[in-house]
Each structure stands twice: as C-alpha cells, then as structure tokens.
Structure 1
C-alpha cells in the first residue's frame, strides 16, 4: 500500500521495572490508512509499549507524537480526546445497556457530556449510534442488551464504541482473541476495511499469525524489549531472527 504521512511517531521509548528493561529504545511510525501489527513472544514488551502510547504508563525516556504533537505522559482521557481510540483484549461494554445505548454513551463521552437512560436525552445521538453499528455489522443487534450478544458481536460493538470519538489512531489489543477461525478473519477484514475507508492509523497486537500475515500492511516484532524487525509481511515472516525467537524456525504462511 501507499501509506500517508505518519499519524503516530514513537521514538526511542524506554521503560524499566527494577533492573529489567521492558521496552528498550523502541521506535516506529504508523501512517494514515495503515494496519500495523505489533507481535512478539510473551514478555517481549508489547503491552508495555502499547500502554505507553495510550498514556496508561509513563516512559523513562523517549517520545510519542500524534500528528506531530507530543503526547508522552498525557493521561488516557486527554489522549483519547486528541483522537486515539482503544479496544481491549477483554471487551469493555455495559451489559445492561442495549448495543445502541452503549454507542450513545461513547458518543456522549467523546463530546464531554453525560448519558442518562431515564431522561429524553437518551434519544440524543441514536441516529449516529445506529450508523456506527451498521458500519460494524451490528445494525440488527442495535436494541439487544449487550449481555445477550454473542462474543464476536460484543467485539464488534466495542469497535463501534471506539469509533464514536472519530479517532485518527486506533489501538487494538488482541482484536480477535477468543474467536473461531472464520470469525477472526471476518473481524480483521472489517477492521481493514474501516482503516481504508476512514484513513485510520491502526496499531494492533495479535497472537493469531493468520490474522497478522493475512491482513497487516506491516509488522513490527519485539523480543526482550527491543525491536528486532520492522517491515512488510513477507519480509518479517522470512526474517531469520524472527523465525528463531518467535515463529519456531520456519516461515509461517498465511492461511486462506
């Protein structure tokens, strides 16, 4: 793909816990319209790096820029307001609310307001919420309580909620975790389509290599806190060091 200018710039991030460097001088960019996978073995530093970008952790050194603006150390709420959306490995939705009400709540939060189910204001944002649900394949589930949704639909609902703030950058932690093969591929294909349509920059962590090698535009690999590879899918899949420390010694082909 021909990516645009960087939306996210990460430079020389370092974070230590005691004498252990969880992240050690990591640098990378994510461009508009790009789906970038962050992978690596357990303990590689993926979550630490992810949480520094999101503002949940403050680095010991280095900088994070969003659209050229330094956001290093800002709290997550402030970073979200600047255009960063987030989904989690375990989806965070309100089970007692309908799918539409969940998205309306996210819309209200993005606007700095509040949401009350028991007042006429509950109708505010409903049309926009329904549009976001339609974009994520959830239109038919709009009035179902989130607690009754299938797991894959909950993940789609969380994606719609993340899009409510009209982010420039979307951070996705294990977006297909817990899904069966077909459902995984459908979910990441949806994310890929939204990335293109909206010009989003997407950074995601993922353990499923069929998802990574089948859909990512580019892959970065961490091992023991250091960046050991950064390139296209085929380049990274065949990298000898990546194969040694993560892929088990042989190139991993994308599954159909």
Structure 2
C-alpha cells in the first residue's frame, strides 16, 4: 500500500537545478534509502518532502493527501516524524523529560507545562524509551549520554508523534560501526512491526545495503537508478559514478550479516 507518492519534484537555486523531475513511491512499512555523491540533490529532495523547502514544481502526496509545500509543523501534524543528521534534543533535560516534552507537544498541551510537566505522559514516554532500549537511562540528562544513545532518544522523540512516515537524515552520522548497525536494525524492526514508512538518506553503504528494502540513486539532481539493494549494486552506471568497489564490499558484508 502506497504511503508517500512523490511526483516530478523540481527545485532550482538560482541557476543550479538541484532536483529535476524526482519521482518515487514509498509503501507502508518499507525502508527506502536515497543515496548519491555530495551535491546530488538528496537533502534538497528530502527537505521538499518534509516541508523545509517548497518545490518549484511537482507534487508530494501522503496517504492520498496533497502536502506539497506545507510548512514542517503542518506536515508533522499529518503524521510525519523526523530525525536529523545532528541529533535535536534538550541536553540539559533528562532522557524521560525529552520524550515527555515531545508527547506534550504532540497532544498540544504546552500551556500546561508550568503546572505539572514532570507528571504528564510519563508512562507513555517510558514505553517509548523501552521500545528504543533506553528505559534504563530515563533519569539521566541527555548531555551525559554517548552519542549513539542520544540518537536512540531522538528516535523515541520522533515516535512520540505516532508517525505514519519517518524521515531520517543521515541517521548514523557520527556513530561507531556497531552503533550504526544496532540503530538501523532497531529502526527497521519498528518500521515493519508498526507499519511506518521510512525514507532516509545515508552515506554508510553498510547501513543502506543491510536495511533498505529499495534504494534511489541521485546524481546531479536526477534519479539514475532505483531498485532493490542487489539491483542497485549491480547497476553499471551506479558503479561508475558512485559506488565503485565500496558498494560491492558493503553488499557482501550485508549478505554475510543476513546469513548470520
């Protein structure tokens, strides 16, 4: 079942065509990766879907509703969660407090903050933290955590909005290899169990080949290839302009991991 449909998205910055007629669909419970070299148009496409950029042409549809050009807050209200390349959290708040704040915002209860914020949505927040493996650290300030754990807290914050679609911008950036694998496995499990579509950009080809159901390859603002990880890895043009031998090695590692 199609959750997100992107049709011929186009964006110019002056004389630079950053995205040209970008079209794709994302299904419920699917992990779709957008990859490509620096300057390929990944972030531009990603930000048009999330509302940070208004496209010059094209259309974005979420569960049949046209969301083209809506601001990020409205997009979020329609069931879109997001994580960022640099984790967005309140470092001085506790892990639990961060997720409670997200739930309070989701339920539009910010006017009640001064009265009893510490008691609001406590059980729901703890359940989300348990879902991402962070319940044991609920009382710790986020600023004391290892960066991999901060990214898990950010994931819980995104899930607090009960998203149908999760946008993840470089989710493993700044993380150690073992942390990257664990986070992406967690996201993939949540996506499939809860029917959340995940659109992510990523430079770590190990994460892409191990966890994406399908991949889009962007070069100079245009999609040059799309398909399963195996299809993309075997594409001669993708090999020539982007993956090279690194894609072959990453795919081999992904297969070994899948085989146990």
1:27 and 2:40 correspond: no
1:244 and 2:240 correspond: yes
Q: If the length of structure 1 is used for normalisation, what is the TM-score?
A: 0.96
Count of aligned pairs: 252
1:207 and 2:206 correspond: no
Match of 2:166 in 1: 170
Match of 1:96 in 2: 92
Equivalence map 1:1-256=2 (5 Å): 5-114=1-110, 119-248=115-244, 251-253=247-249, 254=251, 255=253, 256=257
Structure 1 position 248, deviation (Å): 2.1
Structure 1 position 196, deviation (Å): 0.8
* Paired residues of 1:33 and 1:198 also in contact (CA < 8 A): yes
Q: In structure 1, what is the Cα distance between the partners aligned to 2:77 and 2:123?
A: 22
Q: In structure 2, what is the Cα distance between the partners aligned to 1:187 and 1:228?
A: 28
Q: Secondary structure at the match of 2:248?
A: coil
Classify 1:55/1:32 alpha carbon distance in 2 versus 1 (closer, same or farther; 3 Å).
same
Unaligned runs of 5+ in 1: none
Structure 1 position 230, deviation (Å): 1.0
Unaligned runs of 5+ in 2: none
Q: In structure 1, what is the Cα distance between the partners aligned to 2:117 and 2:230?
A: 51
CA RMSD of superposed structures (Å): 1.3
Structure 1 position 121, deviation (Å): 3.6
Structure 1 position 118, deviation (Å): 5.2
* Paired residues of 2:205 and 2:247 also in contact (CA < 8 A): no
Structure 1 position 120, deviation (Å): 2.4
Q: If the length of structure 2 is used for normalisation, what is the TM-score?
A: 0.94
Describe the superposition over 1:57-111 as per-residue Cα deviations: whole angstroms up to 9, x where unpaired. 0000000000010000101000000000000000000011101110010011111
Classify 1:86/1:250 alpha carbon distance in 2 versus 1 (closer, same or farther; 3 Å).
closer
Q: In structure 2, what is the Cα distance between the partners aligned to 1:48 and 1:80?
A: 18
Q: In structure 2, what is the Cα distance between the partners aligned to 1:162 and 1:251?
A: 30
The structure with more helix, counted as a fraction of residues: 2
